[in-house]
Amino acid sequence: MVIFDADGTTIDAFHAIEQSFLRHGMAIGDLERFQRRRKLFKYLGGLREFPNNLRQQFGKQNRKRLLETLTDFYRDEAVLYPGIAALLQTLIATPHVRIGMVTRNVTIDPEQTLRRLFARHAIDIDAFDHFACIPLRGDKTASFRDARVRLGINPARCYACGDEFSDYLAAIGAGMYPLIVAYGAEDRSRLRQTHGVPEDFIHASPTEFREKLLHTLALEDLLPPIGLEMETHPDPAPGDAVGRGA
């Protein structure tokens, strides 16, 4: 079983946040600075962006409008990282692999948001064996363990993927092998030096992450090189979304 995180692991969340902020006259800086900020300040920007962002986010109506913009961007424009759509499609179609997603996505009605986003990449989230949206400060450990127990999977054959130290802790806490990426919310330096995540669990790019996971599952020969497969698709007609297979 493989359980994925959404934002920062499969979905290019930084681009979605950056563009949504720009549409409200705000900026969050570049990805490198974003990754190094403490969580409390990630969405207020650095010293250069902080004063203006604070003014723009002050008040419930301003925050509501920003959340609505972010939700619309996720549903209609946000993209998966290169190679991730084909990876998910392959795993869904592989009979002996169970696939799940546990996310702290902060958009309005996150399940509907992600349903629309993944449908644009020809992926039906109903084909996942486990899907859970948890609160922003929620701990993924219980959902990981619930999926493992309910599906009857040996902990030694379970993998949990994420882009934050909390994802690493949740995987370990649920008895799963962690695959942590350094291209999302936290970079390699923060994961290693601040949080002490072992180097062998960290993957620098979507390509490295995809190759490591496919090699782990002995499925590396099933996919074309990144760039040769179609990564985005128009909204599928009813019944056309990719599923578990016959």
Q: Which residue has the higher pLDDT, 50 or 209?
A: 209
Per the structure, the count of domains in the chain is 2
Least confident of 90-99, 138-147, 224-233: 224-233
pTM: 0.83
Whether residue 131 is predicted with pLDDT greater than 80 in this model: the reply is yes
Average pLDDT value over all residues in the chain: 85
Whether residue 246 is predicted with pLDDT greater than 50 in this model: the reply is no
Mean pLDDT within 170-198: 96
Per-position b or e across 36-63, b if 16+ CB within 10 A of its CB: ebeeeebbbbbeebeeebeebeeeeeee
Residue 118 CA from chain centroid, whole number: 11
Whether residue 236 is predicted with pLDDT greater than 50 in this model: the reply is no
- Residues spanned by the domain of 24: 13-76
Any domain includes 226: no
Contact indicator for 52, 175 with CB cutoff of 8 Å: no
pLDDT of residue 60: 63
Q: What is the pLDDT of residues 167-182, one digit of tens each?
A: 999 999 999 999 999 9
pLDDT of residue 198: 97
Q: Is the dihedral of CA 2, 114, 226, 33 positive or negative?
A: negative
Does 130 lie in the same domain as 52?
Answer: no
Any domain includes 237: no
Does 111 lie in the same domain as 51?
Answer: no
Does 108 lie in the same domain as 54?
Answer: no
Q: Which of 32-46, 187-201, 231-245 has the highest mean pLDDT?
A: 187-201
Whether residue 57 is predicted with pLDDT greater than 50 in this model: the reply is yes
Radius of gyration of the chain (CA): 18
Does 205 lie in the same domain as 88?
Answer: yes
Place of tokens 């899907």: 131
pLDDT of residue 245: 34
Mean pLDDT within 94-118: 97
